[in-house]
Amino acid sequence: MNTGMLWFDNDPKTALDVKIQQAAEYYRHKYGRMPDLCLVNPGNLEKAIPEPESRQTGKILIRPLRSILPGHLWIGVDEKFSASN
């Protein structure tokens, strides 16, 4: 993903999948397209979803990226996946 939307939610009471769904809905409303990829800080991901095979919420793939700050999400459309469909 080269472009996307940065989303910040540092509320420890809100589950990561809920944060991603809220960000995805805002993205869909703003850009008219549902995102399919969300990049998160590895620390946030490992706390919320420890098993790598279940790192998906709905149709959104969740991947760790060290350059994403804790509490932030980078959400958008995976160009590689979209180009093949």
Length of the chain: 85
Tokens in use for 32? 């008219």
How does pLDDT run across 61-81, given as a tens digit for each residue? 999 999 999 999 999 999 876
What is residue 3's predicted lDDT score, i.e. its pLDDT?
82
Please check whether residue 64 is in contact with residue 16, taking contact to mean a CB–CB distance below 8 angstroms.
Answer: no
pLDDT at 57 over 90: no
Please report, for the chain, the start and end positions of each structural domain, with discontinuous segments joined by +.
5-84
What's the pTM value of the predicted model, to 2 decimals?
0.85
- AA identity, residue 43: G
Task: Compute the distance between CA of residue 35 and CA of residue 59 in angstroms, rounded to an integer.
Answer: 8
Please check whether residue 58 is in contact with residue 22, taking contact to mean a CB–CB distance below 8 angstroms.
Answer: no
Tell which residue, 70, 69, 67, has the closest CA to residue 1.
67
How does pLDDT run across 2-47, given as a tens digit for each residue? 789 999 999 999 999 999 999 999 999 999 999 999 999 998 887 7
